[in-house]
Amino acid sequence: MVEDLRRDVSLSEIDSYLKQSGRSRFDAWMTKWAPWCMLIKRAYTKEQFLRMAQGSRFGACEIKLASIGFEVQFTKPAHRAVSVM
């Protein structure tokens, strides 16, 4: 499973997440500054994860939205049973 920040996350969503996390004021500021300035620019979109999975040996993925990110589970297609005669 991959957990990643969403590229389309808004500043208000980050603020809400930080308020709920119970961080100190300084820690919240640092946590907010790092994603906003550096990490969001490098984060993937849902469509990019889907294309990445399709182009990989996995072939697919399941994506669940988290508060400010995604939880991505790459999946392999089910193998078909082959009967031998």
Q: Domain-by-domain residue ranges, the chain?
A: 2-75
Q: How far is CA 57 from CA 33, 75, 79, in A?
A: 36, 9, 13
The pLDDT value recorded for residue 83 is 47
The pLDDT value recorded for residue 35 is 64
pLDDT band for 24, please (50, 70, 90 cuts).
confident
Mean pLDDT within 39-60: 91
82 has a pLDDT exceeding 60 = no
Q: Which residue has the higher pLDDT, 26 or 37?
A: 26
CB atoms within 10 A of CB 38: 10
